[in-house]
Structure 1
Amino acid sequence: MRQITTERLLIRPIQIEDFNDLQAILYDPLVVRYTRYRNVQAENNFAELFNSHFLGSIYTFGIETKDTHQLIGFYEFHPEGYSALLTYALAQSAWGKGFVAEVGNIMMAYGFEDLNFERVEAHYASLNPRSGRVMEKMGMTDLGSIGTFPSPHTGEVRTVMAYELTKENWLLNNAPEQAV
């Protein structure tokens, strides 16, 4: 994927220079509390994940601010045939600024147009309703609960909610207006 620029952000492939910034993001327990990256705290685990998953992937992208040129998060697809599961994370300093929705709209276009996904699904813990609101802003449809699971680390019971966006619905909502 090429670099894409929005008014405030650069969306680009993860680079080797992002190692420390991404490590700081994924080592923050509040950032990873509800994500698949809760277990990357050991140095070797992170280095292996960074090299095997984040570098050189057509599915994973860094989010960088245009004003500071610092990596503030990432956005990724986990492909499953013609569908993908969406994951994203932002540094706490970037929370509440609308960055995920801003990036999400562009990434949905990339997922449907360039990666040829037919469907994108995203999950969030009901304890984190802000993620659900972000998914709505990206045009995703609420699928409701997909199950209740105890946290392997805290025992805290989490209800996992799901949203989806199909290529068909994305095209309907993003079709260029026709002159009459």
Structure 2
Amino acid sequence: MKQLETPHLILRGFVMEDLDDFYSYCSDPDVGIHGGRESHQDREQSAEELRKRISEDKTWAICKKESGKNIGMVWLEPDFRRKRSLDRCRVLGYLLAKPEWGQGLMTEAVQEVLRYAFEELSLELVSTYRFSYNQRSGRVMEKMGFVWEGTLRDATERFDGALLDVMCYSISRKEYEEWQKKNSN
């Protein structure tokens, strides 16, 4: 996992020393639910998930540059909804600790991951999805130039039985390059 850097963040591979921070945000009932994830019930559940994230090597730990504290995660993985090569298309996902919401940190992390996806991995398309009610996530997507493709109605049955609409977004290489030009001034 290549380490990435932004003005306020370090994006790096997870290590087991992240367990306390990881458990803190994964056990928060207000965090994972917006991505369809049930909150972790104990540290062992978090440790198991953390070991999986480390071994898969496709998720960055989002860490504050000044303190090193792990405050969330962002990943690029195969998009199971699209039948495209991993070398050409991936799905972006992210999760952030609640105390960090509304500070622009996820937008900063996503911007760097998109740069990496298009400029270093040479992807052609990055997609992302959100539940229709999750306006916070939608703002990140729109700020970063993602284009809304449509809504899959009743697409996901969440762990708590809620049947939720999923909004689909994507950004192509050309759209990313246009976004970069527009936002570099």
TM-score band, normalised by shorter chain: 0.7 to 0.9
Rounded to whole Å, the distance in 2 between the matches of 1:151 and 1:109 is 32
Rounded to whole Å, the distance in 2 between the matches of 1:34 and 1:130 is 10
Conservation of the 8 A alpha-carbon contact between 1:13 and 1:57: no
Correspondence 1:159-178 to 2 at 5 A: 159-174=165-180
1:29 match: secondary structure: coil
Which residue does 2:48 correspond to in 1?
Answer: 48
Which residue does 2:18 correspond to in 1?
Answer: 18
Q: Once the two structures are superposed, what CA deviation does each residue of 1:8-41 show, in whole Å capped at 9, x if it has no partner?
A: 2222221221122112211211100122532754
The answer for unaligned runs of 5 or more in structure 1 is none
- TM-score of the superposed pair, with normalisation by structure 1: 0.84
Instruction: Provide the aligned length of Structure 1 versus Structure 2.
Output: 175
Which residue does 1:91 correspond to in 2?
Answer: 97
Q: Once the two structures are superposed, what CA deviation does each residue of 1:58-116 show, in whole Å capped at 9, x if it has no partner?
A: 42111111233211101001124221111101111000101111111110011122233
Task: Give the percent of matched residue pairs that are identical in Structure 1 and Structure 2.
Answer: 29
Report the AA paired with residue 59 of structure 2: T
Q: Once the two structures are superposed, what CA deviation does each residue of 1:96-141 show, in whole Å capped at 9, x if it has no partner?
A: 1011111111100111222332211111111111111110111111
Matched, 1:143 2:149: yes
Deviation at 1:143, TM superposition (A): 1.2
The answer for unaligned runs of 5 or more in structure 2 is 80-84
Rounded to whole Å, the distance in 2 between the matches of 1:100 and 1:115 is 21
Deviation at 1:56, TM superposition (A): 5.0
Conservation of the 8 A alpha-carbon contact between 1:13 and 1:56: no
Classify 1:68/1:93 alpha carbon distance in 2 versus 1 (closer, same or farther; 3 Å): same
1:158 match: secondary structure: strand
Conservation of the 8 A alpha-carbon contact between 2:154 and 2:163: yes
2:169 match: secondary structure: strand
Which residue does 1:29 correspond to in 2?
Answer: 29
